Amino acid sequence: MLNKLFGKKHKQTEEHILAPVGGEVVAIEEVPDPTFSQKMMGDGVAIKPNEGKVVAPFDGEIMQLFPTKHAVGIKGKSGLEVLIHIGLETVSLDGEGFEGHVTAGDKVRAGDTLVTFDLGMIKEKAADTITPIVITNIDAAEALDKKINAAAKSGETEVMSVTVKS
């Protein structure tokens, strides 16, 4: 009891990750690319997009917008780092069909537009439109709750809830 009163207080931080793109939320294991499906980059979910806009999944800072604009990394206030990778084998498009709206170091709020893209062109020219949302520093997570099989609205539907180690 005294330890409860005077002991070290452990503050757990929750990071609620909203859908960065609208569409069907599926398990990361369903991504037809072993880098993602075998969680080599981290754990998360994927979305089969029904629109061509990626928004910030939470308040944070842009760590990186890839030169080809097919992927963006964002770090939340909790320290959680998330990679949003638009489609598969889209790096080979060399930026064609993508427009970035942020740069590294930008502070963003949940729902802010990060990247817009031509969904039809990606369907035609890339391997797949499926968009992995990966927690790249998964070792910082104490617990991960995924919301699979949801019809997600970008910037509104929660797709993951993460308890971040303090």
Residues catalogued as catalytic: 85
Q: In 28-138, which ranges are E strands?
A: 43-49, 53-55, 60-65, 71-76, 81-85, 98-100, 107-108, 113-117, 131-135
- Residue corresponding to tokens 């709206």: 101
| CA gap 130, 150 in Å, rounded | 15
Which residues 6+ apart lie within 8 Å of 153 measured at CB? 19, 22
